[in-house]
Amino acid sequence: MTKETVVNDHDQTENHLITERREKLAKIREERSVAFPNHFRKDTHAKALHKEMEGLDRDALKQKGKIVKMAGRIVAKRLFGKGGFISLRDQTGDIQVFVNTGLIGAEAFADFTTWDVGDIIGVEGEVSRSDKGELTVRANQLILLTKSLRPLPDKFHGLTDVEARYRQRYLDLITNMESRETFRKRNLIVRTIRSFMDARGFEEVETPMMHSIPGGANAKPFITHHNALDMEFYLRIAPELYLKRLIVGGMERVYEINRNFRNEGVSTRHNPEFTMMEWYWAFADYQDMMDMTDAMMKEIALRVNEGSTKVQYQDYEIDFAIPAARMTVQESILKYCDVAKDYDLNTREGVAALADHLHIKYDKENDCWGKILMEIFDDQVEEQLLQPTFITGYPLAVSPLARQNDENPLITDRFEYFIGGREVGNGYSELNDAEDQHQRFMTQVEDKDAGDDEAMHYDKDFVTALEFGMPPTAGEGIGIDRLVMIFTNAPSIRDVLLFPHMRVRNS
């Protein structure tokens, strides 16, 4: 039997089941004035009920006599004679429901036998235990709330096709409790970040998502057109320059959990739109931000893991109770690239020779020391930074918004935060010298004119704001999606986005 034959047989079976369910719905419409009732109110969730009744046997539950109202989707159904069991799933988990004619009557039971896996129902009954000891609600009232017209995939063994899980997230959430747990943890991580920042006196703010000038990062933007103003806008690639304007205005501690958009590649680590948390702290430097990041990660781990700082990611363990390692870009290359010790990493000639030896491509005519150094770092080091690590000493050439180091003018007071072989955060002591910022913008403009479509535009108003004076400030951005990947052991960014972007299918 060919694959095409199997697919066609599956489609025919599914179409037959859909027809049957539509016929059932038609009969419901004929017999009832309201086919999709909305008067049932639940008072209990499955997870809470399991926790409340933990350790109580059948006799203890009978003595307790607890009556509950629950609602959810039928995910399994087993009939025998004048009785049967169903598994009911709500947003927290599953609960077993026992149904028989003695509890709900012969007419209601006959109606119940026509219901399908996937239907959404309400149930009221007493909490008990089955002969096998499973917590069970003995239904004395059942109501069909929503008739499901399509069968759930794979007889409810789970939606296993990865692409289908991303394209039809609703089915993934119905059939895979692990996916529900991932997004529960995502919400918990964001709430923890908010409480962490609020407790330290930071104010949450909102800044524009449509910019007349894209800025705050080296990235290619999406472009849109505003009809009434008859002008182009860029979807935000980062909120940085607006948040710094607030620092100029006297708001000394600000943060924003924001959606950003970058018109770049799609991969297991990149999505065209993504969530970041950026914050700025006046009268602080990049060292303070690294300390704060360590504290934040520890608190997130404690909340997500219910008291433990240890997280399992892929095949290794991360303990966020241990402060992240700190090393410079050059130190990391020397550590993770064996041959680097034979080259002078402080000169363009030295890093160019090393890049040539490693067959790393770079622009031999135009790339400066800093850009070549970072090409080597990206190729040789980044994926090896599995444990939390702060990489510092970033070259000035790739850090147009960071403060120049007082001792070495070729580098900046900047760090990137790595976990699991990927960048999770980026922070630095901010550049608050308006004249220096003007000159760096001009360099970016030259790069853009030379063909670099990720180089920054010149933002005149931001330079004007700096001319009014911005206090010494530190800032950082953390990628929420990548952070959630670590805390949920997800190999792809698509696993932690409810609706990741996918190429449109032809059929």
Residue 234: which of 256, 258, 261 has the closest Cα? 261
- Per DSSP bridges, beta strands 422-429 and 414-419 are antiparallel
What's the length of the chain?
507
Phi and psi for 430 in degrees, rounded to 5? -75, 145
- Separation CA 133–CA 55 (nearest Å): 11
Among candidate residues 37, 166, 69, 174, the one with its CA nearest the CA of residue 118: 174
- CA–CA gap between residue 411 and residue 417 (Å, rounded): 17
Q: What letter does residue 495 receive in the DSSP assignment? A: G
Question: Does the annotation list 349 as a binding residue?
Answer: no
Please name the residue ranges forming H helices in 210-305. 240-248, 286-304
8 Å CB contact between 145 and 120: yes
For residue 178, say whether it is annotated as part of any ligand binding site.
no
Question: Residue 479: is it exposed, middle or buried by C-beta count within 10 angstroms (0-12/13-18/19+)?
Answer: buried
Which residues make Cβ contacts (< 8 Å) with residue 126, sequence separation at least 6? 65, 66, 67, 68, 137, 138, 140
Binding residues for Mg(2+): 416, 423
Binding residues: 416, 423
